[in-house]
């Protein structure tokens, strides 16, 4: 087992190789026509699926979410999901080039008007989204549409890759890294009228909220509930899907909530409604969902 300085050197070397490979792929994707770049991304995703990259995890998750489907149908969805992820990565890496200027043609928003009204009034709101369609592209496109987004993000284990990813959407998106300083930065974003965006469909290590997600209890991000309960923010869902011609349709929909006096009940209620809203969108288009995470992980304490 490697340890100490030798391990540190190996980690840095691996990180350097990962970053160099990502930059090389980015160069190829920028140089190619958009249709060819998406085809390459799809081929990479399909190849990874055929090689069995996390295929067991995908099929296990699909069995939880769709117990009524047979093995062949779940495999079909899993393969399509892998292809979609490849195309999504290609689109995101291409965004700083010509795709940024054409984003209005590539992404059609439906239901954007309430967010624009809140922006004009200098008010914030909470928006939850999931790993559906080309989710990273949609945040960048939202900023290009005139909304002022602040996105809560986790850090990559590779610092160079982390910096590269955060640079891609440009300065219109404010990134807030998860950690001790996150609440302060989020409060600043809310007070300045930015739209607070949270990717809320994956396992949360904060094991305070466990509610149903697509038929099975799952630890769920408690932050949207806290923002709604504490700051009285309106709650929206953003979900999109890929359509013909390399274009996307993205729906912004309000999530209706009851008014509950009990603080904990209100936060739990938000988590339930949020999971229900995201789950419905995923069921409508499972081929474009990212099934690779251990969403239903459970730890007994």
Rounded to whole angstroms, the Cα distance separating 187 from 230 reads 11
300 pLDDT higher than 50: no
Q: Given this model, what pLDDT does residue 222 score?
A: 93
In a domain, 27, yes or no: yes
Q: How confident is the model at residue 5 (pLDDT cuts 50, 70, 90)?
A: low
Rounded to whole angstroms, the Cα distance separating 246 from 263 reads 44
In a domain, 297, yes or no: no
Residue 172: which domain range? 4-288
301 pLDDT higher than 50: no
Q: Give the residue-averaged pLDDT of 95-104.
A: 75
pLDDT tens readout for residues 57-96 = 999 999 999 999 999 999 999 999 999 999 998 988 887 7
- Determine contact, residues 241/248, Cβ cutoff 8 Å: yes
- Which residues are within 8 A (CB) of 80 and not within 5 positions of it... i.e. 6 or more apart? 287, 288
Q: How confident is the model at residue 154 (pLDDT cuts 50, 70, 90)?
A: confident
In a domain, 294, yes or no: no
Of 10-24, 100-114, 193-207, 233-247, which range is least confident? 10-24
In a domain, 224, yes or no: yes
User: How many domains are contained in the chain?
Assistant: 1
CA atoms within 13 A on the CB side of 284: 13
In a domain, 240, yes or no: yes
Dihedral (CA of 22, 25, 27, 33) sign: negative
List, as one string, the DSSP characters of 88-146. HHHHHHHIIIIIHHTHHHHEEEES-HHHHHHHHTT--EEEEE-SBSSHHHHHHHHHHTT
In a domain, 223, yes or no: yes
Q: Give the residue-averaged pLDDT of 249-266.
A: 95
Q: Given this model, what pLDDT does residue 2 score?
A: 54
Q: How confident is the model at residue 258 (pLDDT cuts 50, 70, 90)?
A: very high
Q: Given this model, what pLDDT does residue 85 score?
A: 94
In a domain, 193, yes or no: yes
In a domain, 298, yes or no: no
pLDDT tens readout for residues 176-197 = 887 788 889 999 999 999 999 9
Both tokens of 86, joined, read: 């490849």
Q: How confident is the model at residue 124 (pLDDT cuts 50, 70, 90)?
A: very high
Please tell me which residue, 15 or 72, carries the higher pLDDT value.
72
Of 8-12, 45-49, 90-94, which range is least confident? 8-12
pTM comes to 0.90
Work out the percent of the chain whose per-residue pLDDT is above 90.
Answer: 63
Q: How confident is the model at residue 7 (pLDDT cuts 50, 70, 90)?
A: low
What average pLDDT is seen over the chain? 89
List, as one string, the DSSP characters of 59-87. HHHHHHH-TTS-HHHHHHHHHHHHHHHHH
Give the length of the chain.
301
């Amino acid at each position: 087992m490697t340890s100490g300085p030798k391990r540190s050197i190996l980690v840095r070397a691996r990180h350097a190789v990962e970053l160099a490979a990502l930059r090389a792929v980015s160069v190829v994707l920028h140089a190619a026509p958009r249709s060819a770049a998406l085809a390459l991304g799809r081929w990479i995703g399909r190849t990874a699926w055929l090689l069995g990259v996390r295929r067991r995890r995908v099929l296990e998750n699909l069995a939880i979410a769709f117990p009524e489907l047979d093995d062949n149908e779940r495999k079909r969805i899993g393969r399509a999901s892998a292809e979609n992820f490849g195309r999504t990565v290609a689109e995101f890496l291409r965004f700083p080039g010509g795709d940024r200027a054409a984003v209005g043609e590539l992404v059609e928003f439906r239901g954007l008007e309430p967010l624009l009204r809140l922006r004009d009034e200098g008010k914030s709101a909470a928006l939850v989204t999931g790993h559906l369609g080309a989710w990273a592209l949609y945040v960048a496109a939202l900023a290009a549409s005139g909304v002022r987004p602040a996105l809560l993000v986790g850090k990559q284990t590779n610092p160079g890759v982390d910096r590269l990813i955060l640079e891609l959407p440009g300065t219109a998106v404010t990134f807030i890294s998860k950690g001790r300083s996150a609440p302060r930065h989020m409060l600043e974003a809310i007070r300045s009228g930015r739209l607070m965006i949270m990717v809320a469909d994956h396992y949360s290590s904060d094991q305070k909220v466990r509610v149903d997600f697509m038929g099975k209890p799952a630890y769920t991000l408690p932050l949207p509930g806290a923002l709604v309960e504490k700051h009285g923010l309106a709650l929206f869902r953003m979900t999109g899907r890929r359509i013909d011609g390399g274009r996307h349709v993205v729906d912004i929909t309000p999530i209706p909530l009851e008014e509950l006096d009990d603080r904990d009940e209100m936060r739990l209620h938000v988590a339930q409604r949020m999971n229900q809203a995201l789950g419905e969108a995923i069921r409508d288009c499972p081929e474009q969902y990212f099934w690779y995470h251990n969403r239903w992980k459970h730890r007994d304490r």
